[in-house]
Amino acid sequence: MVIEIIMAAVGVLAGVGGKFVYDKSQATSSKHKAEKEIARAERKASEIVLQAKDEALKIEQERRREIQKVESRLADRESSLDNKLDELDKRSERLRKQEDEVESLKTEIREIRTKQQEKLEKIAGLKKKDAAEKLLQMTERDIKDDLLGLVAKLQKEATDDAEEKAQLVILSAMERMASEVTAERTVTAVKLTDDEMKGRIIGKEGRNIQAMQRATGVDFLVDDTPGMVILSSFDPIRRQVARMGLEMLMKDGRIHPGRIEEVFEKAEKQIEKEVIRAGEDAAREVGVAGIPKDLLKLLGELKFRTSYGQNVLMHSTEMAHMAGLIADEIGANVRVTKIATLLHDIGKAVTHKVEGKHHHIGAELARKAGMSDEIVHAIEAHHDDIEATTAEALVVRVCDAISAARPGARNISAENFAERMRDLENIATGFKGIDKAYAISAGREVRVIVRPESIDDLSAIKLARDIATKIESTMQYPGTIKVNVIRETRAIEFAK
């Protein structure tokens, strides 16, 4: 047992010693390998360091070459700038020399001009100030002539263009509008069927005729004209009622105060219906709606009124058609223009009741009836005492002049015509510098001859405008009147 234990212990000791010997040999071998690896790594590191040094040297050399190139370019630029500065210095020097030369030349020219001016003053016998004044006068005269020519040219061009366009618009409207120029006057005389009828109208002790006059407010003139009864009244509606009632009485044959009152009431109602129907028909014919009934009634009353031989309602209707065509051509409000034109003379229906001019009265009636400001203004401005500020008002004024100025539209006596011709001539001769004045072309033109020593060309233009303005403000006339101012200088000499 002990031997086994001893043998086991010896075995253990032998194993431990063997392992120690093996481990030692292994350690020695590993050390040699490590030393070899370290040596090899040191060699590689040395090689890498050498390569890095070579690369760094190459980069350094490249940078030096680049720096040398940049330094070379900078040196070249510096040299170029030095050359340019030298050149600029040389140019500046040359400019200074040239300025000195120019200044000396200016001084020399001034001296020469002064000497020439002195010589010219001696030759002309004029001082510089006098010569300057003469030169200014000559220049002013030349400029004035040029301005006169320019003003005349512009006026002619503007007049030609405006007249041409206006003529096209007006003629286009007129050729599309055809109506009677004049209408018959309101009938104020009633023809009797026989002489016996005159006594029956007068009645016993004049009772019948007095009843007629009380019922109508119209004067019945029986004895003035044989076979006729003349009706006299400022109110055309009353005159029409009297005419219709008298014709009904003569047709019926029963003439006495009771019957007279009944018949004239019936005639008055019929005339009232006819008046309203006439106003409505006129508005319908023109193609406008929305006119108040009160104004339509006044419009219908114009059927029984005449002005210078024109029936006022027909005149207004004709104007409304024409005004609508012109308004459409120039871009104005057609409805406003038509209504204003149709109603422009409604003031004439009440002028025997209200004081004032008919266009002012008509405008006030339209304003009270609630018509727009544009319509009211166009009615009020269709004569010259109110300035027309809208296109519609101007169209109304133009159409009124066209309708009144057409041949035969107005019955003007020879005395009135001669008086208007004299008024035109008197207005023209009332200005200073006028030698003679003649109204020609049936009063459509006034030809004025001025004294050339008193009126120059520029003043002649102003004189024509002044004469036209005075004619517009002091006279009433249809259409337009041409003012022709003539200035001429005649030089006459005789060869002997």
How far CA 450 is from CA of 159, 212, 460, 487, in Å, comes to: 23, 63, 8, 6
Assess whether 468 and 328 both reside in one domain: no
Q: Which residues contact 437 (CB under 8 A, 6 or more apart)?
A: 424, 425, 428, 429, 446, 447, 448, 449
Residue with the bigger pLDDT between 17 and 115: it is 115
pLDDT of residue 3: 60
Q: Quickly list DSSP for 128-172.
A: HHHHHHHHHHHHHHHHHHHHHHHHHHHHHHHHHHHHHHHHHHHHH
Residue that is written with structure tokens 């016998």 in the block: 125
**223 touches 217 (CB < 8 A):** no
* pLDDT tens sequence across 317-375: 888 888 888 888 888 898 999 998 888 888 888 866 777 788 888 889 989 988 899 99
Assess whether 460 and 349 both reside in one domain: no
How far apart are alpha carbons 138 and 153 in whole angstroms?
Answer: 23
Assess whether 378 and 434 both reside in one domain: no
Task: Select, from the ranges 47-56, 143-152, 215-224, the one with the highest average predicted confidence (pLDDT).
Answer: 47-56
**443 touches 422 (CB < 8 A):** no
Assess whether 307 and 389 both reside in one domain: yes
pLDDT of residue 165: 64
Asked which of 379, 410, 441 is the last residue of a domain, the reply is 410
Residue 87 domain-assigned (yes or no)? no
Residue 273 domain-assigned (yes or no)? yes
* pLDDT tens sequence across 291-307: 888 888 888 888 888 77
H/E stretch holding 209 reads helix 207-216
Q: Of 185-189, 216-220, 248-252, give the lowest mean pLDDT range.
A: 185-189
Instruction: Supply φ then ψ for residue 464, to 5 degrees.
Output: -60, -40
How far apart are alpha carbons 212 and 218 in whole angstroms?
Answer: 8
Assess whether 391 and 474 both reside in one domain: no
Assess whether 290 and 349 both reside in one domain: yes
* pLDDT tens sequence across 434-448: 888 998 876 778 999
Assess whether 436 and 399 both reside in one domain: no
Band of residue 183 on the pLDDT scale cut at 50, 70, 90:
very low
Task: Give percent of the chain with pLDDT exceeding 90.
Answer: 2
Q: Which two tokens stand for residue 430?
A: 């009332």
**177 touches 325 (CB < 8 A):** yes
pLDDT of residue 23: 58
Residue 456 domain-assigned (yes or no)? yes
Instruction: Supply φ then ψ for residue 450, to 5 degrees.
Output: -105, 160
Q: Which two tokens stand for residue 451?
A: 């004294």
Q: Of 153-167, 186-200, 246-260, 449-463, give the lowest mean pLDDT range.
A: 153-167
Query: Is pLDDT at 131 greater than 70 in this prediction?
Result: no
Q: In the chain, what are the helix, strand and coil shares in percent, each to the nearest 5?
A: 70, 5, 20
How far CA 476 is from CA of 348, 415, 443, in Å, comes to: 17, 16, 12
Band of residue 181 on the pLDDT scale cut at 50, 70, 90:
very low
Asked which of 349, 379, 410 is the last residue of a domain, the reply is 410
**286 touches 263 (CB < 8 A):** no
pLDDT of residue 186: 42
**485 touches 456 (CB < 8 A):** no
pLDDT of residue 184: 43
Residue with the bigger pLDDT between 224 and 341: it is 341
Of the candidates 353, 350, 254, the one whose C-alpha atom is nearest the C-alpha of residue 302 is: 350
pLDDT of residue 387: 84
Query: Is pLDDT at 46 greater than 80 in this prediction?
Result: yes
Range of the domain at 440: 416-486
Residue 440 domain-assigned (yes or no)? yes
pLDDT of residue 209: 80
pLDDT of residue 4: 60
Residue 313, CB-side half-sphere exposure with 13 Å CA sphere? 25
Query: Is pLDDT at 122 greater than 80 in this prediction?
Result: no
CATH label of the domain that carries residue 460: 3.30.300.20
Alpha helix (H) ranges present in 287-390?
Answer: 293-301, 312-330, 334-342, 358-368, 373-380
pLDDT of residue 259: 83
Mean pLDDT estimate for the chain:
79
pLDDT of residue 154: 74
Assess whether 291 and 256 both reside in one domain: yes
Residue 315 domain-assigned (yes or no)? yes
Residue 257 domain-assigned (yes or no)? yes
pLDDT of residue 2: 46
Band of residue 479 on the pLDDT scale cut at 50, 70, 90:
low
Assess whether 225 and 352 both reside in one domain: yes
Residue that is written with structure tokens 């269709």 in the block: 382
Residue 247 domain-assigned (yes or no)? yes
Assess whether 426 and 452 both reside in one domain: yes
Assess whether 366 and 430 both reside in one domain: no
How far apart are alpha carbons 319 and 343 in whole angstroms?
Answer: 10
Assess whether 389 and 426 both reside in one domain: no
Residue with the bigger pLDDT between 111 and 235: it is 111
* Domain total of the chain: 2
Residue 143 domain-assigned (yes or no)? no
Band of residue 198 on the pLDDT scale cut at 50, 70, 90:
confident
pLDDT of residue 360: 87
Asked which of 395, 410, 425 is the last residue of a domain, the reply is 410
Q: Give residue 394's identity as a one-letter amino acid code.
A: L
